[in-house]
Amino acid sequence: MVFLDEAVIEVAGGRGGNGCVAFRREKYVPRGGPSGGDGGHGGSVFLVGDGGLNTLQHLRYKSRFAAERGRHGEGSNRTGRSGNDLEVPVPLGTLVFDAATGDALGEVLAEGARLDAARGGRGGRGNARFASPTQRTPRHSTPGEEGEERTLRLELKLLADVGLVGLPNAGKSTLISTISAARPKIADYPFTTLVPQLGVVAEGPLAEPFVVADLPGLIAGAAQGAGLGFQFLRHVERCRVLVHLVDLSSPDGGPGDVTADLATIERELAAFDPELLERSRLVVGSKRDAAVAARRDRLRQAAAARGLPYLEISSATHEGLDDLLAALRGQLREARAREALVGEGAT
Domain range 1-156, CATH architecture? Distorted Sandwich (2.70)
- Could you report the per-residue pLDDT of 83-133, keeping only the tens digit for each? 999 999 998 889 999 999 999 999 998 899 999 999 999 999 999 999 998
Q: How confident is the model at residue 9 (pLDDT cuts 50, 70, 90)?
A: very high
- H or E, element range at 232: helix 229-232
Q: How many residues in total does the chain contain?
A: 347
Q: Rounded CA gap, 144 and 124, in Å? A: 4
- Could you report the per-residue pLDDT of 296-327, keeping only the tens digit for each? 999 999 999 999 999 999 988 999 999 999 99
Judge residue 67's burial from the number of C-beta atoms within 10 Å of its C-beta, 0-12 exposed, 13-18 middle, 19 or more buried: buried
E strands along the chain, which residues? 6-12, 45-49, 64-66, 86-90, 94-98, 104-108, 114-118, 149-156, 162-165, 197-201, 210-214, 241-247, 280-286, 310-312
All structural domains of the chain with their residue ranges = 1-156, 162-346
Asked if residue 266 lies in contact with residue 165, where contact means CB atoms within 8 angstroms, the answer is: no
- Could you report the per-residue pLDDT of 134-162, keeping only the tens digit for each? 888 899 999 999 999 999 999 887 777 88
- Could you report the per-residue pLDDT of 157-178, keeping only the tens digit for each? 777 788 888 887 788 888 888 8
Residues 182-208 have a mean pLDDT of: 57
User: How would you classify residue 287: left for phi > 0, otherwise alpha for psi between -120 and 50, otherwise beta?
Assistant: left
- Could you report the per-residue pLDDT of 34-51, keeping only the tens digit for each? 999 999 999 999 999 998
**Higher-pLDDT residue of 31, 329:** 329
Residues 177-206 have a mean pLDDT of: 61
pTM of the entire structure? 0.69
Query: Selecting from 3.20.20.10, 3.40.50.10860, 3.40.50.300, 3.40.50.720, what CATH number does the domain 162-346 have?
Result: 3.40.50.300
Asked if residue 141 lies in contact with residue 21, where contact means CB atoms within 8 angstroms, the answer is: yes
- Could you report the per-residue pLDDT of 211-267, keeping only the tens digit for each? 888 877 565 444 444 444 455 677 777 788 999 999 898 755 455 678 888 888 888
